[in-house]
Amino acid sequence: MASPFTYTARSSSSSSDYPLDDEHEALRSTVEEFARDVVAPRAAAMDEDGAFPYDIVGSMAKMGLFGLPFPEQYGGMGGDFFALCLAIEELARVDSSVAITLEAAVSLGAMPIYRFGSEEQRTEWLPRLASGETLGAFGLTEPGGGTDAGATRTRASVYDGQWVIDGTKAFITNAGTDITSVITVTAVTGESGGRKEISSLIVPVPSEGLSVAPKYSKVGWHASDTREVSLDGVRVPEQNLLGERGRGYANFLSILDEGRIAIAALAVGLAQGCVDESVKYAKQRTAFGQSIGNFQAIQFKIADMAMRAHTARLAYYDAAARMAAGLPFKTQAAMAKLHASEIAVTNAREATQIHGGYGFMNETPVARFWRDAKILEIGEGTSEVQRMLIARELGLG
């Protein structure tokens, strides 16, 4: 498809005035409408009861959101990664749980199979993941560590033509829904030169010996399904090795590089949602006989929030454009993720402040945004890891 960055007019009601090409703009406005009309009215209740919204995920599947970046031959929509990011941003403007469900299913669940899978693996797994009929998950992090790959304790060895996998994975998104069909896990498959050899293995759900714990009680992202996964002598066919043996961790790092652009989009959506809610509230709320939006103390806060959302959006657009053009984008993706997640936390804090006492009430959208924001500085590479990556690119350390 053509570059997404041709200059055409964009509707003034959108969150950004950045000119997108017609197809990306049509997708963005469609998801914006869906988020506003279908997701937003449900968000407070989903946050309250933490139930996974199967019907909303089903509607997203019908819209093709789970297949956005995959070719049609694998049941995809024939779009690109940037299209996925736009959809994630618009969902996150109203609800992060739904947005992360999409992000994790596509970028972490299906993408490794698309990027590193054999033709047989792609044909077997991608159509049902790209259609959104089932969800995929990726198990990298363990109770003992996420960033430190050397600490991986899950082990897998071949016996009688089957991989036998033992270990525990922590904080795995989409691991325990009724429609989860696959969890790809990293495991130590040997040792060479004193270093652990880490490989990726495709584990179908259900599998004997595979169990998921009850949902975690989380600070935010309440309606997203996050669980601990235990593998106790799980056996999968030898051909379920995903990608080259020993390349599991390296491959997953490259998945994380692009995943960071998607997380940045999610963070921008949350930051923009804070702007949307604050503008609405500032116009409606009165104090001292006038709307609080007349006070510069409030105006300046909201102006800064809008500026932060805008600049973070440009950062992820840039990383996505580089990726689409086949240019190196690792540093830009790290910067976009780092910046967007930090400004999301800042905007959520400021929006809560603007809402005063109501900002501390759970049913107020910005209170939910405030709880949903913090994880953005932790998941898919902490802010510290992003800074390490950027510093390394600058030739330091």
Partner 1 sequence: MKIVVCVKQVPDTWSEKRLDPADQTLDRAAADGVIDELDTYAVEEALKLKESLGDATVVVLAMGPAGAAESLRKALSMGADEAVHIVDDALHGSDALATSLVLAKAIEQIGYDLVLLGSESTDARMGVMAAMLAERLGVPQATLASGVAVDGTSLRVTRMTSAAQEEVAATLPAVVSVLEKINEPRYPSFKGIMAAKSKPTSTLSLADLGIDASSVGLAAAATKVLDSTARPPRGERTIIKDDGDAGARIADFLASRKLL
Which of the residues are catalytic? 380
- Out of 3, 48, 51, 62, the only residue in the binding site for partner 1 (CB under 8 A) is 62
Q: Say how far apart CA 300 and CA 276 lie, in whole Å.
A: 15
**DSSP H or E segment with residue 65:** none
Cβ atoms < 10 Å from Cβ of 393? 14
* Rounded Cα–Cα distance for residues 93 and 34 (Å): 11
- 261: burial class by Cβ within 10 Å (0-12, 13-18, 19+)? buried
3 near partner 1, judged by CB under 8 A: no
Q: How far is the CB of 11 from partner 1 (least distance, A)?
A: 5
Position 244 contacts partner 1 (CB under 8 A): no
Buried b (16+ CB within 10 A) or exposed e, 352-389: bebbeeebeeeebbbbbbbbbbbbbbebbbebebbebb
CB closer to partner 1 out of 158 and 287: 287
Minimum CB distance to partner 1 smaller for 118 or for 286: 286
34/52 with CB nearer partner 1:
34
Least Å distance, CB 124 to partner 1, is: 22
Choose the binding region for partner 1 from 74-82, 134-142, 209-217, 329-337 (rule: CB under 8 A).
74-82
Which phi and psi (to 5°) does residue 244 adopt? -70, 145
Query: CA 96: distance to chain centroid?
Result: 9
Q: How many residues bind partner 1 (CB under 8 A)?
A: 28
Residues 6+ apart with CB under 8 A from 254: 115
How many alpha carbons lie under 13 Å from residue 302 in its C-beta half-sphere? 21
For partner 1, which residue of 4, 53, 79, 269 counts as binding (CB under 8 A)?
79
Binding residue (CB under 8 A) for partner 1 from 68, 149, 156, 345: 68
Q: How far apart are CA 284 and CA 20, in angstroms?
A: 32
- Render 241-256 in DSSP notation, one character per residue: EESSTTBHHHHHHHHH
The verdict on 64 binding partner 1 (CB under 8 A) reads yes
- Indicate which single residue of 34, 116, 138, 249 sits in contact with partner 1 (rule: CB under 8 A): 34
Q: Does 236 sit near partner 1 (CB under 8 A)?
A: no
Between 32 and 258, name the residue whose CB sits nearer to partner 1: 32
Compose the 8-27 pattern: x for residues touching partner 1 by CB under 8 A, - for all others.
Answer: ---xxx--------xx--xx
Q: Ramachandran region of residue 175, left (φ > 0), alpha (ψ -120 to 50) or beta?
A: alpha
**Measured between alpha carbons, how far is residue 119 from residues 71, 238, 240, 248, 315 in Å?**
13, 15, 12, 18, 34
Angle between the N-to-C axes of helices 22-34 and 81-92, in degrees from 0 to 180, rounded to the nearest 10: 30
Q: Which of 72, 238, 244, 384 binds partner 1 (CB under 8 A)?
A: 72
Count of beta carbons in the 10 Å neighbourhood of residue 58: 12
Interaction residues for partner 1, span 270-329 (CB under 8 A): 284, 286-287, 291
362 binds partner 1 (CB under 8 A): no
**102 makes contact with partner 1 (CB under 8 A):** no
User: Which of 83/264 has CB closer to partner 1?
Assistant: 83
Residue of the chain from 63, 213, 279, 324 that contacts partner 1 (CB under 8 A): 63
Q: Is 187 helix (H, G, I), strand (E, B) or coil?
A: strand
Find out whether 162 and 237 touch, Cβ atoms under 8 Å. Answer: yes
Crossing angle between the packed helical segments 296-324 and 81-92, to the nearest 10 degrees: 160
Produce one character per residue of 179-195: b if its CB has 16 or more CB atoms within 10 Å, e if not. Answer: bbbbbbbbbbbeeeeee
Q: Please, which residue, 13 or 192, has the CB nearer to partner 1?
A: 13
By CB under 8 A, is residue 253 in contact with partner 1?
A: no
- Check binding of 164 to partner 1 (CB under 8 A): no
- Of the candidate residues 30, 168, 311, 346, the single one contacting partner 1 (CB under 8 A): 30
Q: How far is the CB of 309 from partner 1 (least distance, A)?
A: 21
Of 31 and 389, the one with the shorter C-beta distance to partner 1 is 31
Does residue 384 touch partner 1 according to CB under 8 A?
A: no
Member of 43, 46, 77, 205 binding partner 1 (CB under 8 A) = 77
Query: Which residues in this chain contact partner 1 in the complex, by CB under 8 A?
Result: 1, 11-13, 22-23, 26-27, 30, 33-34, 59, 62-65, 67-68, 72, 77-79, 83, 284, 286-287, 291, 363
